[in-house]
Chain A
Amino acid sequence: MMILSRAAATCGSISLLVLVAALASCNPERTQANDVARDNAERQALIDAMKHHPALNGDQNATGKPIDVPTTVPPKAPESSGHHDHHDQPAPKPQS
């Protein structure tokens, strides 16, 4: 009986997933709000996972070496005019 009820629950979950997927496929035009919500959820899940990283919870065995990241901006090379970045070519066309 318990197995049956568990199976029914599983089937119910699967059905719900299938239903959601089917409904989603019925509406191929993704709304911007949905995209934003999905992006936010994905990023938040990553941030939460990072917060569970043992190194961020004080485990020294999971912590790598400190790294040296220069945070200053070096002077621009004197021979550089500052105006030919990716582009010794003609000025870019305006966007259409």
Chain B
Amino acid sequence: MSSDFSAYKAMAFGLAALLGVAVIAPGVSGGQFDMMRITKKKPGRVTDGGLNTGTGSTTGTGSTTGTTSGGLTGSTGGSTTTPTGTTSNSFYAEESLVPTNFDVNSELVPAALPSSGAPDVVGAFRFICNAGQLRYDDPIVYPGQPGKSHLHQYYGNTSADANSTYSSLRSSGESTCMSPLNRSAYWMPALLNGKGGVIRPDFVAIYYKRRPISDPKCSLTSGDPRAEGNCVPLPNGLRFVFGYDMVTGKIPTGFLKFSCQGPGAGLGEYHSIPEAMANCPVGAQFGARIEAPNCWDGKNLDSPNHRDHVAYGSYGDWGYYKCPSDHPYVIPSFTLGAWYSLDGDKANYRFSSDDMLPNAPAGTTFHADWFGAWDNTVMSMWMDNCINKLLNCSAGNLGNGKQLKQYAGFTWLASPRVVPVPQ
């Protein structure tokens, strides 16, 4: 009897929800953009503001000049079918899809553990990377100009260098982030030991999170007066810099913080490396954590300062969390946490970028860069399941019974941990 009643109640709620959706969102709602990656073959449209004009300019199937579609109206049948070939999206700016050049299924295995429900309002997709290459390159800030930046520690795509573009990242390189299905490049200043060496991190934990598209806060047309913005997936070719702004020195974005884990670790968050080191003994691990922006303007994949096309949501003076009105698209945001073993030189640790601000405490200039190059099929899997079904997916679990393979050679401790910097 009680189960019958529950069934009727569930049906009534379901019907009411459907009616509600039909009434309050008769047109295209922002949340639906997640489902609107269309598979029509057409040339891509993208803007990078003419920024990538050096040898690092985009090549491949899509044009790299011109303006974006800008207008985010219209409708099409919602579909998350596997995109193949040259694909583009007509609802917001993105580069033409570059498909994976190997068998995607060869890099997937049955998941070892089921995903659980997320204990939060956001779904999560998490994985761990090892340290990648060290280079004086920055394909966002100095495209096509090798050796021009401070020393960077890369993660993800092992081919990333000053000449990398969305197309090149998608087409080449292995990945230190589990599988080459994630050929995105993540980089940050290298950690120096003050004695001519670089400290390579033991591992990096990366979490992508966002509200599910069914959440009324994920659509400005849902009728929820406290909607955060229109939720969309990560567009092909998006890249940005976040954290301390080396040009302006403004208050950094990215909620930078340092912490410690392991034997004798202090349970705190610290704003500088010296402060963290005072609470982090040799034998423990030092962590540097930064959060990527979660709001996007929907038009530009890059901007002159590599920051202004993305933004962070805030409570502002309106009393609820939302994206700025000129950045109304909510993208899955990631948190990057790099963890380093400590040694007796820890008092001298600093980021390579700290040399630009010698009078500030070490760690002040912490920032990071991201150049997205996910396989779109796999990104759709973790978007459709982990994020949109509000799951708690870890270790490359895609929330659909599949999991990313782990490359051979993964280690929990960096080896080598310290490498010399040629003088």
Contacts and interface: CB of A to CB of B under 8 A. Distances in A.
Interface string B51-88: 00000000000000000000000000000000000000
Interface size class of chain B, counting residues whose CB lies under 8 Å from the partner chain: 35 or more
B405 interface: yes
A36 B267 contact: yes
Contact of B405 (A40, A64, A94): A64
A69 B131 contact: yes
A56 B249 contact: no
Contacts of B174: 65, 67-68
Interface stretch (B147-155, B211-219, B324-332, B341-349): B147-155
Nearest to B161: A74
Nearest to A67: B174
Nearest to B420: A73
Interface stretch (B11-19, B23-31, B357-365, B378-386): B357-365
A20 to B, nearest CB: 10
Nearest to A7: B2
A57 B394 CA distance: 16
A94 B359 contact: yes
A95 B248 contact: no
A21 B24 CA distance: 28
A86 B138 contact: yes
A76 to B, nearest CB: 5
B405 A62 contact: yes
B395 interface: yes
Contact of A64 (B205, B356, B406): B406
9 tightest A-B CB contacts, nearest first = A77-B147, A92-B249, A49-B394, A55-B406, A86-B246, A67-B174, A49-B395, A93-B249, A64-B405
B395 A53 contact: yes
B395 A52 contact: yes
Contacts of B246: 85-87, 92
B32 interface: no
Contact of A96 (B132, B135, B251, B397): B251
